[in-house]
Amino acid sequence: MKVLIVDDAPTVRSLVKTTLEAMGITVLGASNGKEALDMAKREGFTLIISDINMPVMNGLEFLKAFRSFNRRTPFLVLTTESDPEKKEAAKRLGATGWIVKPFRPQDLSNVVRRFAR
Amino acid sequence: MKWQEKLPRPLKEHENLYLIRFNLGPEVFNRGIRIEWYIEDLKSLGELILEVQKERLPADDEVAEDCCYIAEALLISEEPEGTIKELLEFILDDGVHIETISARGSSQEPSEEKAEPTEGIPEQILNDYLVETAEHLNSIENSLVRLEQQAGEPSLLNELFRQFHTMKGNTGLLLSFGPNAALEVLKRIAHCSETMLARARDEHGQLSEEEIDTLFEALDALRECFRCFKEGKALDDRFEGLIARLSASPAEGERVDSKTSDVSDEELRAFKEIFLQYGSILDELANKQELSADEQEFFERALGTLRKSAENLKQKRITELLQTVKAPSDLKGIMTHISNELGKRTSKSHESQRKSTKTDAIQLESSIRVTQEQMDRLMNLVGELTAFREWLKWFVQHGDETWAKQKQLREQIQRYSRLVAEVQRTAMEMRMVPVYMLFQRFPKVVRDISKALGKKVQFEIIGENTRIDKLMLDRLGEPLIHLIRNSLDHGIEFPQERMAQGKPEAGRLLLRAFYSAEGVVIEVEDDGRGIDPDMVRLKAVEKGLRSEEEVMKLSDEEVISLIMLPGFSTKEEATELSGRGVGMDAVSSSVEAMGGKVKISSRQGEGTLVKLILPLTLAVRKVLIIRSGELLFSLPVEQLREVVNRPTFQWVADRPFMVHRNEAIPVVPLSSIFGLGNSDVVEAKKVILLKEREEGILVDEVVGLTETVTKPMPRALKTVEGLAGVSILGKGDIAYQLSL
């Protein structure tokens, strides 16, 4: 099982990494959409978790590009607001679901357990 | 879903009942959503009863991954609605709908709200109304379901009419205590439904399929109004459209109807053709973010053609659906709706077309076809892998490696074993198909047979999405038809006879499939005359199958299973007999050949239940490996009763007997069963006792237990009786699988 975490904040990446590695999941990190896209083109992931606001290429652009060649891999977006319109927009671009920041490690592992099978 | 009937048991205290409707389009699957995950998650919250949407099921054994076959699910759970909603959060607005049918776990909430809108109504009257209306809603649902099966049944129409009428009257009474918006709408819907029923009853004596659908809609609406009233919630004008349809003038309604039925099958088929061709291209465009000028032009032309032909063909629903399309992206959701709609139309006009419609619906979504041969090959390869694992194990045990190296090897083998097990499991899952694929034939079979016999039968299938090994399903056709025929022919009585006994005129035949701890269970149940145990006793003695003394010792229940003995009854005699027995031995032997068993229970005058208990899969079997002389044999453990280790023998009149637990059991050497010459009885070291055989089998050695995949017998040996196939063992040895 391999999860890709995309966030420009190293703290978020390391939080996700520690939480998921404790569940026996391999975690790879990327700090922006472009980096992530290159990785996702090279190798397959069980699940992708991506922040939305990032430099170079944001999460929604990454999602859109990713869905153009992969419609199967679950893709969760990290969002700071629970604004339904944002969620709807993410869904339209092909997001499987979302995790609202800030989240507890426990929330994260619950969601990941459901979508990385 | 007629949820009252699907409910497997009454709710316990603290348990809630939710009805979850699924209507997921491809766009959901394209977001990486897997419906089976949600099913698993829901299962973890309680008991889940699934209802498959027949129109969406593929015709054969190809099951598309990104298609939701489940139409509705009933969930019994102690969790509050919030938890369920949370679980379904990501798909809740995309075609998943939750309805709380009964919330006992959180019963304080509704009762708190209840007091508010009902001021001025005497408590007793209010309580009566709440109880009665809830009952009425349920009985309306029941009547509608029955009406769907027997559209022209006048008593049902009258009953339904009365139910709507009473509900209207009761509601009117309540309204006399003060105005209430929800009740007002409820009364109007009940009134319009009543009017529509009266019209249908007086003009045609029956309801059209559309009218029944509309009434179902009305029922949902009534429920919603009732809920809003109880919870003191406001109700918007969302049901105005429905009321308008319910009260549409009869002339107009009829005109539309007759025109629809004027449309020939040919024309419909042609439209389907057009739809499929344009549809698949439109579907592709729907996924594009931007269209080129050419594509835009094509899109508009294709849409125009579709609209026009839908209009020409009076496909009202489809025309309406197409009307909502403005841009390609609008198409995403409605393509499946349309193909479903088409499926509904054509299946109505042409039975044989149902199959192709189903396939068409699938074509719009992506799926992979796997042939039976490919599947078999995969299973064979899995068998080889399993065999190779056994060889590796053997090799490590018997090789001369150092201990350290052995340990290393063993670890690797363990990893390999895990992988093999995983591959095996996956391959096995791929072989599992819903029993619907077989069951879908039966309604017609039942209708034909009961018509020919002049009997009235209400046939019902439950659990049609239970999955079972494809191979097994293929072999179940014959036995099930046999059981159904038996029930119809010998079980269910003629209408006059039934009425004389105070039973409903129509007999009930129920075919049910479900999982249990023992495996997959398929039941055939009727409410016919049942089996007379005394007749069975008589017959068994007459046929010399059991002595009089023996049958008297057996309980009624035990006696009934005697009808499965070979030679119990013949065709001519069966009808005069208590009812059953024709070919029951054939049924039981074919079920047993799959490693399953048959249980029969019956109450005289009340009915008969035949239960087929089947293993989850045929593919991998646990077998006991035994040696006789030079040859190895494998014996499926289900057939085994006991292995006797140090048998003592006695000879009675030249025949060897084994003395075991104060009983003398005749024994026969395995080798002589297959004419391989007599091995010396005294030298044999073990005796194997089988469940289905009185004689003990003498063998030289019991090698051990193992799991194997059975391969078919080589052609040259196919005629040898008592052998079912070949198992390949660790060292590459071959064991013949016994079927004694």
Q: Report whether pLDDT(B445) > 50.
A: yes
Q: Report whether pLDDT(A5) > 90.
A: yes
Give kind and range of the element (H or E) at residue B579: none
More confident residue, B507 or B260: B507
Closest-CA distance of chain A to residue B331, Å: 13
Q: Residues of A with CB below 8 A from B34's CB?
A: 117
pLDDT single digits (tens) B169-203: 788 777 777 778 888 889 889 888 888 887 877 77
What is the pLDDT at residue A50?
A: 94
How would residue B154 be classed by pLDDT, with cut points 50, 70 and 90?
confident
pLDDT single digits (tens) B416-439: 888 887 887 777 777 778 888 888
What is the pLDDT at residue B682?
A: 58
Kindly determine whether residue B90 and residue A96, on different chains, have CB atoms separated by under 8 Å: yes
Cβ proximity of B516 and B468 under 8 Å = no
B90 → closest Cβ in A64, A72, A97: A97
What is the pLDDT at residue B256?
A: 36
B37 part of contact set with chain A, CB < 8 Å: yes
Q: Report whether pLDDT(B63) > 50.
A: no
Q: Report whether pLDDT(B484) > 70.
A: yes
Q: Residues of B with CB below 8 A from A71's CB?
A: 29-32
Q: Report whether pLDDT(B623) > 50.
A: yes
B89 part of contact set with chain A, CB < 8 Å: yes
Q: Residues of B with CB below 8 A from A91's CB?
A: 31, 90, 94
Range with the poorest average pLDDT among A96-100, B270-274, B556-560: B270-274
A46 part of contact set with chain B, CB < 8 Å: no
Kindly determine whether residue B33 and residue A73, on different chains, have CB atoms separated by under 8 Å: no
Q: What percent of chain A has pLDDT over 70?
A: 97
Instruction: Collect all residues with Cβ–Cβ distance below 8 Å to B173 and sequence separation of at least 6.
Output: B125, B129
A72 part of contact set with chain B, CB < 8 Å: yes
How would residue A75 be classed by pLDDT, with cut points 50, 70 and 90?
very high
Kindly determine whether residue B30 and residue A114, on different chains, have CB atoms separated by under 8 Å: no
Q: Report whether pLDDT(B81) > 60.
A: yes
Mean pLDDT of B647-663: 80
What is the pLDDT at residue B335?
A: 66
Q: Report whether pLDDT(B109) > 70.
A: no
Q: Residues of A with CB below 8 A from B29's CB?
A: 71
What is the pLDDT at residue B498?
A: 92
Radius of gyration of chain A (CA): 13
Q: How many CB atoms neighbour CB B655 within 10 A?
A: 11
* Measured CA distances, B302 to B231, B275, B282, B299, B389 (Å): 48, 9, 8, 5, 57
How would residue A107 be classed by pLDDT, with cut points 50, 70 and 90?
confident
Closest CA to B141 of B156, B121, B122, B131: B156
Closest-CA distance of chain A to residue B90, Å: 5
Instruction: Collect all residues with Cβ–Cβ distance below 8 Å to B492 and sequence separation of at least 6.
Output: B450, B455, B457, B498, B507, B509, B526, B527, B528, B529
Q: Residues of B with CB below 8 A from A72's CB?
A: 32
Cα separation, B357 vs B270, whole angstroms = 13
Range with the poorest average pLDDT among B300-304, B503-507, B546-550: B300-304
Q: Report whether pLDDT(A3) > 90.
A: yes
What is the pLDDT at residue B357?
A: 36
Kindly determine whether residue A91 and residue B94, on different chains, have CB atoms separated by under 8 Å: yes
pLDDT single digits (tens) B349-399: 443 333 333 333 333 334 566 777 777 788 778 877 877 877 787 777 777
What is the pLDDT at residue B618?
A: 62
What CA dihedral angle connects B732, B738, B739 and B740, to 10 degrees?
180
Q: Token match 């393509």: residue?
A: B335
What is the pLDDT at residue B620?
A: 63
Q: Which CATH class is domain A2-112?
A: alpha beta
Mean pLDDT of B702-727: 74
How would residue B666 be classed by pLDDT, with cut points 50, 70 and 90?
confident
How would residue B404 be classed by pLDDT, with cut points 50, 70 and 90?
confident
Kindly determine whether residue B90 and residue A74, on different chains, have CB atoms separated by under 8 Å: no
Q: Which residue of B has its CA nearest to A69?
A: B30
Kindly determine whether residue B31 and residue A117, on different chains, have CB atoms separated by under 8 Å: no
Q: Report whether pLDDT(A62) > 80.
A: yes
Range with the poorest average pLDDT among A62-71, B126-135, B358-367: B358-367
Q: Report whether pLDDT(B111) > 50.
A: no
Closest CA to B17 of B86, B94, B107, B78: B78
**Gap between the terminal Cα atoms of chain B:** 46
What is the pLDDT at residue B513?
A: 92
Closest-CA distance of chain A to residue B295, Å: 18
Q: Report whether pLDDT(B313) > 90.
A: no
Sequence spans of domains, chain A: 2-112
What is the pLDDT at residue A28?
A: 93
Closest CA to B563 of B590, B545, B575: B545
Range with the poorest average pLDDT among A68-82, B539-553, B597-611, B613-627: B613-627
The DSSP secondary-structure symbol of B488 reads I
More confident residue, B61 or A40: A40
**What pTM was estimated for this model as a whole?**
0.37
How would residue B296 be classed by pLDDT, with cut points 50, 70 and 90?
confident
Kindly determine whether residue A114 and residue B37, on different chains, have CB atoms separated by under 8 Å: yes
Cα separation, B608 vs B524, whole angstroms = 8
Q: Report whether pLDDT(B6) > 80.
A: no
Cα dihedral B541, B547, B549, B553 sign: negative
Conformational region of residue B649, where left means phi above 0, alpha means psi within -120 to 50, and beta covers everything else: beta
Kindly determine whether residue B90 and residue A98, on different chains, have CB atoms separated by under 8 Å: yes
B32 part of contact set with chain A, CB < 8 Å: yes
pLDDT single digits (tens) B226-242: 888 888 877 777 888 88
B212 part of contact set with chain A, CB < 8 Å: no
A71 part of contact set with chain B, CB < 8 Å: yes
What is the pLDDT at residue B265?
A: 56
Cβ proximity of B229 and B117 under 8 Å = yes
Q: Please, which residues bridge with residue B521 across strands? A: B514, B613
What is the pLDDT at residue A4?
A: 95
A17: tokens are 């990494």
Q: Please, which residues bridge with residue B611 across strands? A: B523, B599
What is the pLDDT at residue B612?
A: 93
Label the pairing between strands B631-636 and B620-628.
antiparallel
What is the pLDDT at residue B663?
A: 82
Q: Report whether pLDDT(B258) > 50.
A: no
Range with the poorest average pLDDT among B61-75, B84-98, B297-311: B61-75
How would residue B257 be classed by pLDDT, with cut points 50, 70 and 90?
very low
Closest-CA distance of chain A to residue B513, Å: 28
What rounded mean pLDDT belongs to chain B?
76
B31 → closest Cβ in A88, A91, A117: A91
